[in-house]
């Protein structure tokens, strides 16, 4: 068995190879002056089972193309099996047709990963786990919440978990179970054409004295959690904190959250954003799925 480090592996490839005692090989790659990616397998993979680690954090399209090129190359050079470990799965939020005629992006991505040669797919905290059924092979899901809970538990005294929308209710419940505390969730509406969001709290208890932990799968622009943090503070929260699996942190998200007095921001290393935040390593949780 060989662990193959892709062009975006965030060190997870190195840790996985140590944990499972498999040889680590790194793909050779470069980018041509016109922006096209070049990928080469530096050693023979013939007859091997290969675990490829390639996340699809920003720049998503580049990392996806490099994922596709790598999977097919692994198969072409004679590997017997490819397991694609994609800690952050880009395009996962477009998992249905919200407006007529839209591409169901996650379906395309998962079909491509499979048809290029990966028979097993492993990812961390998918946006909607049901959408992984678009992958025709074996699927394994890594739950980062226990590790994230241990980290946030170090800094909060009276936790209360709040999901920013109905879709996050299950996630909020899971995190609350880890922290042995109560949870609730907000209501979010998104204008499907402009992308504008409205978040509101309905029937929430007073949060006076509580350290509120907002939990989401992805923090992108920070807009959702900014609105959620305002609601939490307006209900008397002692502090507001953020726990999320995938910290994309684009368009000044970190600054926005800090300005809104969000205290702790904890994510996983499925994505390593440009700005520094506390990231928990999820290699151990991935290793148990192999
Ligand atoms: C959407 O439903 C997701 O779960 C996240 O809430 C969303 O992607 C966060 O995006 P942003 O940080 O841009 O509000």
Index of the ligand 1 atom closest to the CA of residue 197: 14
Cα of 224 vs centre of ligand 1, distance in Å, is 6
Residues 6+ apart with CB under 8 A from 222: 249, 251, 252, 253, 254, 256, 257
Q: Indicate the burial class of 258 (C-beta count within 10 angstroms; 0-12, 13-18, 19 or more).
A: middle
The one-character DSSP state at 187 is E
For ligand 1, atom 7, which residue shows the shortest CA distance? 218
Beta carbons of 111 and 247 less than 8 angstroms apart: no
Q: Ligand 1 centre and the CA of 28: distance in Å?
A: 34
264 lines ligand 1 (CB under 6 A): no
Going by C-alpha positions, the residue among 153, 15, 154 that lies closest to residue 87 is 15
Which ligand 1 atom is the nearest neighbour of the CA of 221? 13
Residue from 47, 127, 54 nearest 81 by CA: 47
Q: Reduced to 3 states, what is the DSSP secondary structure of residue 177? A: helix
Cα 30 to Cα 40: distance, rounded to the nearest angstrom: 9
The answer to whether the CB of 256 is under 6 A from ligand 1 is: no
Mark out the alpha helices in the chain (DSSP H runs). Answer: 12-20, 60-76, 105-116, 145-153, 169-179, 223-234, 253-259, 283-287
Pick from 217, 226, 252 the residue to mutate for probing ligand 1's pocket: most ligand atoms within 8 Å of its CB. 217
Catalytic residue among 23, 188, 198, 289: 188
Is-contact 125 145, C-beta < 8 A?
A: yes
Cβ burial of 171 (10 Å; 0-12, 13-18, 19+) is buried
pLDDT of residue 215: 98
User: Has 188 been annotated as catalytic?
Assistant: yes
- Report the C-alpha gap between 263 and 248 in whole angstroms: 18
Query: From the alpha carbon of 226, which atom of ligand 1 is closest?
Result: 14
Each residue's pLDDT expressed in tens, for the chain with a length of 290 residues: 999 999 999 999 999 999 999 999 999 999 999 999 999 999 889 999 999 999 999 999 999 999 999 999 999 999 999 999 999 999 999 999 999 999 999 999 999 999 999 999 999 999 999 999 999 999 999 999 999 999 999 999 999 999 999 988 999 999 999 999 999 999 888 888 888 888 888 889 999 999 999 999 999 999 999 999 999 999 999 999 999 999 999 999 999 999 999 999 999 999 999 999 999 999 999 999 99
| Cβ burial 211-233 (10 Å sphere, 16+ → b, else e) | bbbbbbbbbbbbbbbbbbbebbb
Q: What is the pLDDT of residue 46?
A: 95
Mutate which of 224, 250, 267, 277 for ligand 1? The one with the most ligand atoms within 8 Å of its CB, which is 224
DSSP 204: P
Cis peptide before 59 (omega within 30 of 0): yes
Contact 93 CB / ligand 1 (< 6 Å): yes
Question: What is the structure's pLDDT at 105?
Answer: 97
pTM listed for this prediction: 0.95
Contact 106, 128 (CB under 8 A): no
CB of 215 sitting under 6 A from ligand 1 = no
Q: Residues 45, 74: contact at Cβ < 8 Å?
A: yes
CB atoms within 10 A of CB 79: 22
Residue 220 Cα: closest atom of ligand 1: 12
Closest by CA position to 10, among listed 41, 60, 56 = 56
């Amino acid at each position: 068995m060989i662990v193959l480090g892709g062009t975006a592996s965030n060190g997870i490839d190195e840790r996985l190879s140590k944990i499972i005692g498999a040889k680590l090989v790194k793909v050779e790659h470069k980018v041509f002056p016109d922006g096209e990616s070049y990928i080469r397998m530096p050693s023979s993979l013939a007859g091997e089972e290969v675990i490829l680690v390639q996340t699809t954090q920003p720049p998503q399209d580049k990392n996806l193309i490099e994922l596709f090129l790598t999977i097919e190359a692994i198969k072409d050079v004679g590997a017997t099996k490819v397991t694609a470990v994609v800690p952050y799965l880009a395009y996962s939020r477009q998992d249905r047709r919200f407006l007529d005629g839209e591409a169901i992006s996650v379906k395309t991505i998962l079909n491509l990963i499979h048809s290029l040669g990966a028979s097993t797919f492993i990812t961390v905290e998918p946006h909607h786990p049901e959408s992984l059924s678009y992958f025709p092979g074996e699927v394994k899901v890594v739950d980062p919440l226990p590790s994230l809970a241990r980290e946030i538990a170090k800094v909060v005294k009276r936790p209360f978990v709040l999901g920013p929308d109905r879709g996050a209710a299950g996630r909020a419940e899971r995190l609350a179970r880890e922290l042995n505390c109560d949870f609730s969730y907000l209501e979010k509406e998104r204008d499907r054409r402009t992308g504008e969001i409205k978040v509101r709290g309905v029937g929430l208890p007073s949060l006076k004295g509580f350290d509120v932990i907002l939990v989401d799968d992805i923090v992108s622009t920070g807009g959702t959690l900014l609105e959620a943090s305002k609601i939490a503070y307006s209900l008397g929260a002692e502090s507001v904190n953020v726990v999320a699996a995938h910290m994309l942190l684009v368009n000044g998200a970190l600054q926005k959250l800090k300005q809104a007095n969000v205290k702790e921001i904890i994510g996983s290393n499925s994505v390593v954003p440009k700005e520094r935040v506390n990231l928990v390593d999820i290699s151990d949780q991935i290793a148990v799925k192999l």
